[in-house]
Amino acid sequence: MRIPILRPALATALAALALGAAAVPVAAHEGDQRYRSVVTAVTPTTRGLQAQVLDYDDRLQLVNHSGRTVVIAGYGAAPYARVLADGTVQVNQRSAGVTLNEDPGQALPVTAVKDKPGPPVWKTLDRTGTIEWHDHRVHYRASPVPPQVRDRSKRTLVDRWRVPIAVGGRPGAIAGTLTWVGTGGSSSFPVAAVVSLAVVLALAIGAVVLVQRRRRAGEGRP
């Protein structure tokens, strides 16, 4: 009689574990804690226009409340995105960045950057005045360790990066630096994902134990 009772609980546990395992690849797309990519300047200096790097080196965020249209350059000749004066956020569907930025872990294949021909085709994402995207110019993914890093325990400047923009038609850029900060805390091992999976496993085991206790309590009743 024990097997029929445990089967539903075990099925629940296995389903929970499957969901947890499915979540691992998503959690693995995080910034690399061995690096710090930071914005050092946004030009032209404009009130209401800000930019920062999120999650160590994972993605770039631009906030535009300046009342001016800001255009973000792509990897090729075509613009990648723009935030209009009213806060409308749009992405150019003909920019190579639309495809390249979907995979934050890959190295930027410079020789393969080819925008689709023709004028921009703008797709509206939202009207928040804020855009976040994985920009391969602000991080390093070409090899496990940059050639500039000779001592993995020491901070080392890897790159001074630049993302061209235009503010109200005036050319400018988001400039920053990428620094290696050490080997403590590499994101190559998805710690957050493993912790999440451990929590799911604990909940699944708890469900099995609870079913067993209820069954025993029921058997003890007259």
Q: 195 by DSSP, 3-state: which?
A: helix
Count, residues in the chain: 222
What was the pLDDT predicted at 32? 93
More confident residue, 219 or 27: 219
Q: Which of 73-77, 97-101, 212-216 has the weakest average pLDDT? A: 212-216
Asked, as a colleague might, if the bond just before 79 is cis with ω within 30 of 0, I would say no
- Answer yes or no: is pLDDT of 222 > 80: no
Please give the structure tokens belonging to residue 54. Answer: 């999120």
Question: What angle is formed at CA 104 by the lines to CA 99 and CA 106, rounded to 5 degrees?
Answer: 85
**What is the tens place of the pLDDT at every residue in 102-115?**
887 767 666 667 89
User: Of the ranges 13-17, 64-68, 151-155, 215-219, which is most confident?
Assistant: 64-68
- Answer yes or no: is pLDDT of 200 > 70: no
**What is the tens place of the pLDDT at every residue in 17-50?**
444 444 333 334 589 999 999 999 999 999 999 9
- Answer yes or no: is pLDDT of 207 > 70: no
Which stretch of DSSP H or E encloses residue 103?
none
- Answer yes or no: is pLDDT of 203 > 80: no
At 51, the amino acid letter reads A
Q: What percent of the chain has pLDDT over 70?
A: 70
| Arithmetic mean of pLDDT, 127-155 | 94
Please give the structure tokens belonging to residue 125. Answer: 């994402």
**Residue 156 banded pLDDT, cuts 50, 70, 90:** very high
What was the pLDDT predicted at 30? 80
Domain boundaries, the chain: 2-26+191-219, 41-137+163-176
What was the pLDDT predicted at 183? 72
Q: Rounded CA gap, 198 and 85, in Å?
A: 46
**What is the tens place of the pLDDT at every residue in 46-68?**
999 999 999 999 999 999 999 99
Q: What is the pTM of this model?
A: 0.69
- Answer yes or no: is pLDDT of 72 > 80: yes
Q: Rounded CA gap, 33 and 152, in Å?
A: 13
At 83, the amino acid letter reads V
Q: Rounded CA gap, 222 and 125, in Å?
A: 64
Please give the structure tokens belonging to residue 31. Answer: 């910034």
